Every structure is written in C-alpha cells, then in structure tokens.
Structure 1
Amino acid sequence: MRLAFRGMAGRIRRSRGAISIGLLLTVQLVCAAVFISDILSSLIGFRSIPIAWELREVLEICAAFGLLLGLGLGAFALWRVLQERNDAQERLRRAAGAFSELLAERFAEWGLTPAERDVALFAIKGLSTAEIAALRETSEGTVKAQTNAIYRKAGVSGRPQLLSLFIEELMRDDSRLRPEGVPSKAERKLGQVA
C-alpha cells in the first residue's frame, strides 16, 4: 500500500513538473510571438490598421515581463536540477563508501588473507576466475582454491550467495547510506508514535 502511494505521489510530482514546464514554455512562446509579430508587421506590413500605441506598449511590457519571468523560472529549474544531481552524487558517494566499509568489516570478520581479500573483491566485481588469475598473476587453480576458502569462511556456497550477503546487509541497514543525524523511516515512525 505504501509503495503504491509513494509511486503515485512520485507520478503526481513528475506530472506537476511537466505541467509547470509546459505552461512556462507556452508563456515564453506567446511572449516571443508578440515580439516577432510586431517586427514582422513592420517589415511585411500585414497589419492594415495600426493598434493604439498604449495597447502596443502594454503588449510589449507584458511580453518582456513574461520573457523575464521565464528566464527566472528557467534559472530556478536549472538550479533545482543541479541541486538534485549533486544530492544524487553525494548519496552515491556515501553508498560507495558504506559498501567499502562493509567489505572491509566482513573480510576482517572472516579472517581473509590479503590475497583472499583481493580475490574476493574481484569476485564480487564479477570477474571470472581466469580474469582474476591474470590480474593477480597466479594460476587459475590458486584462484579457485582461494575462492573456495573465501566461500567456506563466509559460510556460503558460491559467488551469488557471497554477493547477496553484502546486498542484504546494505538493504537491511540503510543507516550507512544516510547522513549523520538523519533518522531512518522506522526511527521517524517510532518518534511520531511516541
């Protein structure tokens, strides 16, 4: 239920944003059309009856104001997009740091040797046994023995289970990905109930 509501809220926000941008572009298009039609009417002479100068001034002032408003809102939209990009990069950096910390913790808990740590890291990255052997300049048999030792120490039977250990832990404890001082959803919910 909550996931459906979140998805719907996200779609509503995106549709509001699309409507806002559409309105902004429409206003700018109308304002630009006022200036272009004024220039073309002078150049081509398609307007046979001139409009009153007061009305013309009002139209030009409104068109200029609309273009300035569009410029300001466009700058604001660009600022928001850049801010969201920076936030996403920061979250990605924290996630990468948290994953590196988690790897180091687990490797230490399992008592992996430095060679086994390298092999485990390459295996988690998805490299084949032959690729790991080439990178480490060892035989494939050595790499296979090291991966078997890693799986035994980690209590798993293969590479997919090894990777799932880390994914499950990161999903279970999202505090590694949150900035310090920001409560988790569960903590916020408990705070509201209490």
Structure 2
Amino acid sequence: MSARTRIRERKATGISILVALQALACAFFLADLASDVMTDGIGLHLAIEMIAAIALLAAVVLGAMRVRGLITAARRDEAAVATAQGALGELIRLRFEEWQLTAAEADVALFALKGCDISEIARLRGSAAGTVRAQLAKVYSKAGVESRSGLIALFLEDLIALPDKSSRVLGG
C-alpha cells in the first residue's frame, strides 16, 4: 500500500468516525425529543426541536453518502492514475527500444523525462555533466527531437487523444 493510499485511508477513517459521532449525537437528540414528547406532549418548543433533529438526521445521512462518494471517487482516481502510470511506463519502454537506446542513454532519458537537470542526472548516475550532455544529445538524435521539451512532447502526443473531427461534427 502506497503512502498516498495510507494517508487517504486515514483521512477516510477520521471522517467516518466524525460522521459516526454526528449520528450518535443525532440519535441522542431524537431519543431526548421522544422522551420529552411522551412526557410533555408536543408544544411549539418541541416542534422546533423536532424540525432541528430531523434536519440533523438528514445532514448526517447526506454527509455520510457524500463521504462515501468521495472515498469511492478517490479510489477510482487512484486506480486510473496507476493504470496511466503503467501505460506511460510501457510507452517509454517501447520508445526506448524503438530508438535503440543503450542502458545508460535510457537512464539519462528517463531522468530527463522526470525533470532532472544535467547536474542532477550526473550526480544521480555518478558521472560527469559532459557525459550526460553527450548521452542526452544521442537520445535527442535517436528520438528525432532537439530538446528535452521535444522529448516530453513525443510522449504527450501519444498519451493525449484528441477527439476525431468527425465525432465533433456529428455531436458524438
């Protein structure tokens, strides 16, 4: 389980506990209201209290439904991100194979795609900045681009599906 998932689950647990406490308070108010009605009958004060208790009950139910929906959406979004990460990883692997990058060039290209600058890449790889520059130049040449932004654009082009013009015309 990733750190992000653990944090999300802790937040969901905290919010669920809060909603449960609200439900407990609502049950207390409804029980107190029922006791007061049985003892004193329904008067203006108890009628107002009844409306407030019913509103609280509705808020608790709607809040619980909303929390559940948000948790479900967060889990769905996390699954979509994981799928996209897998797809991007596979796309990168395929392009690197297609361009016949060496292992060192592939490492340097991956660091470049992640946004590392030349000095960071050199430090991470334990090599000289000049070596990294030369490897990046080879990567750009093999990929048919001139810069890091061109390299990134190649991958974005493959990942961003533009709607077909005919589907826009037909309203689909």
Is this a same-fold pair by TM over 0.5? yes
Is the counterpart of residue 54 in structure 1 residue 47 in structure 2? no
Q: Matches of 1:143 and 1:116 in 2, distance apart?
A: 9
**TM-score after normalising by structure 1:** 0.59
Report how many residues are paired. 130
Pairing partner for 2:121 from 115, 132, 136: 132
Map 1:1-194 → 2, pairs under 5 A: 53-55=41-43, 56-172=45-161
- Report Cα offsets for 1:45-67 as digits up to 9, x if no partner: xxxxxxx8423444333332221
Aligned to 2:5: none
Aligned to 2:34: none
Q: Matches of 2:115 and 2:42 in 1, distance apart?
A: 72
Following superposition, the deviation at residue 69 of structure 1 comes to: 1.3
Q: What one-letter code is carried by the residue in structure 1 that aligns with 2:42?
A: E
Structure 1 spans left out of the alignment, 5+ residues: 1-31, 36-51, 174-184
Q: Percent identity?
A: 40
Q: Matches of 1:75 and 1:125 in 2, distance apart?
A: 39
- Report Cα offsets for 1:27-51 as digits up to 9, x if no partner: xxxxx9xx8xxxxxxxxxxxxxxxx
CA RMSD after TM alignment: 2.5
Q: Matches of 2:56 and 2:113 in 1, distance apart?
A: 53
Q: What one-letter code is carried by the residue in structure 2 that aligns with 1:138?
A: S
Structure 2 spans left out of the alignment, 5+ residues: 1-25, 30-39
- Report Cα offsets for 1:138-185 as digits up to 9, x if no partner: 112211111111111101111110111001110038xxxxxxxxxxx7
Q: Matches of 1:129 and 1:62 in 2, distance apart?
A: 66
Q: Matches of 2:130 and 2:157 in 1, distance apart?
A: 30
Q: Matches of 2:119 and 2:42 in 1, distance apart?
A: 81
